[in-house]
Amino acid sequence: MRDVAIIGVGAHPTGRFPEKPLKALAHTAIRDALTDAGISAREVECAYFANSLGGSLTGQEGIRGQVVLQYSGITGIPVINVENACSSASTAFRGAWLEVASGAADVAIAVGAEKMFVGDSARTIAALAAVSELDLARMGMQFTTSYAIHPKINLKGKMRDYGWTMEDLAKPAVKNSANGALNPIAQHRKPLTIEQIVQSRPVVDPLTLLMCSSISDGAAAAVLCATDLVARFTSRNPIGVSACVLRSGVYKLPNGEQPDSATVTARAAYEQAGIGPEDIGAIELHDAMAPAELMLYERLGLCDPGDGPRLIDDGITTLAGRQPVNPSGGLCSRGHPVGATGLLQIAELVWQMRGEAGAHQIASPPKVTMAQNQGGLLLGQDSAAYSTTILSV
């Protein structure tokens, strides 16, 4: 396997863009990633395209990835369409990484794009249902509900066992809204207080509206290249891919154990990169609901069970802290265009590592970072897709 580096990233701002078709959203990200990498569309040898809704584009010849990439001038190469729930974009990134690492291609691009504001409320609701757990969708609920009632998450149980309060559940959203307010591509750019979050409209106990990510349009892309060929394309220092791990959830092992799949995936990534959680300088993680960040602190090995709120209270995971988490604003603030989210995380970390993140730049650009992405959790079982990617300079 060859060493692989990221040589270019790009993103379309996240938010509501009902007038823009999917290919226009993706084009901005693809164009900026190619420009950032210093290469032309003709130099791309393979492409992976992520979109959580999948399928063909109505009224057009071809399937989504081929149509979208053709619009940006990328044609005549292998194009692989990826649908893996909220992990679609990180799965596409892994596919492009494997193409280069294996030697099948010298340059590959991963693209993620999502169009959730589609012009009328019925179709938007249909889009949400398509990325929801099937069982909940049939009950008229969306994936928000799973975070409150899923037995592996069990927020009310965490509050009872750890002594967490509603204010504790709101702390990640406060931190991330402050970061998102500084991020020019974020969907929600307004700092929030604990009181505003706790007192916002209840969604499903104990979650309130401002603890939850919203419907989003958006896109992101990354260009990958064999590390020993980087100088052929750009003089910029490459961002190395030290680990790229994808796992499917395991509900129950034969011996009756129920392993935490986010933990297993992260540990595999640490082993692949030859580091530990203490070595990570910044993290973008999957906070589709604010309290998920507190639980992922534990599962990524950042703290002991129940100590998540303390990391925020002590400033450790804030933008000025020792180990900033979600400097972009995360899913609740930057936005969660489902099929693009994993690559938005990658783009943010690349900008942070280069010192190019602007107003929300971490003071000392991190040398090692992690993107944690997951999606597809079904009620009553752990059948989700989990991704952990570690980058280094």
Over residues 123-175, the pLDDT tens digits come to 555 555 554 444 444 443 445 555 666 556 678 888 999 999 999 999 999 99
Higher pLDDT, 115 or 31: 31
Please name which of 104, 22, 17 lies closest in space to residue 63, comparing C-alpha atoms. Answer: 22
**82, 340 contact by CB (below 8 A):** no
pLDDT at site 147? 62
What are φ and ψ of residue 8, in 5° steps? -165, 140
Query: Which of left, alpha, beta for 320 (phi over 0: left; psi -120 to 50: alpha)?
Result: alpha
What are φ and ψ of residue 324, in 5° steps? -60, 135
pLDDT category at 95 given cuts 50, 70, 90 is: very high
> Which three-class secondary structure state does DSSP give residue 165?
coil
Over residues 315-369, the pLDDT tens digits come to 999 999 999 999 999 999 999 999 999 999 999 999 999 999 999 999 999 999 9
Over residues 177-233, the pLDDT tens digits come to 999 999 999 999 999 999 999 999 998 889 999 999 988 999 999 999 999 999 999
Over residues 259-286, the pLDDT tens digits come to 788 999 999 999 999 999 999 999 999 9
Tokens at 289, concatenated: 């609901």
Per domain, the residue ranges of the chain are 4-119+216-239, 132-212+243-392
Over residues 294-322, the pLDDT tens digits come to 999 999 999 999 999 999 999 999 999 99
Q: Whole-model pTM above 0.85?
A: yes
Beta bridge partners of 29: none
Annotated active-site positions, please?
86, 336
Q: Answer yes or no: is pLDDT of 36 > 60.
A: yes
Q: Answer yes or no: is pLDDT of 121 > 60.
A: no
Please name which of 299, 307, 304, 283 lies closest in space to residue 171, comparing C-alpha atoms. Answer: 307
pLDDT at site 258? 67
* CB-count exposure of residue 250 (10 Å: 0-12, 13-18, 19+): middle
pLDDT at site 152? 62
> What percent of the chain stands above pLDDT 70?
84
Give dist(CA 27, CA 69) in Å, integer.
8
Give dist(CA 337, CA 53) in Å, integer.
11
Specify the CATH class of 4-119+216-239 in words: alpha beta
Q: DSSP character for 392?
A: E
Total Cβ atoms within 10 A of residue 305: 12
CATH of 132-212+243-392, one of 2.40.128.20, 3.40.47.10, 3.20.20.210, 3.40.50.920: 3.40.47.10
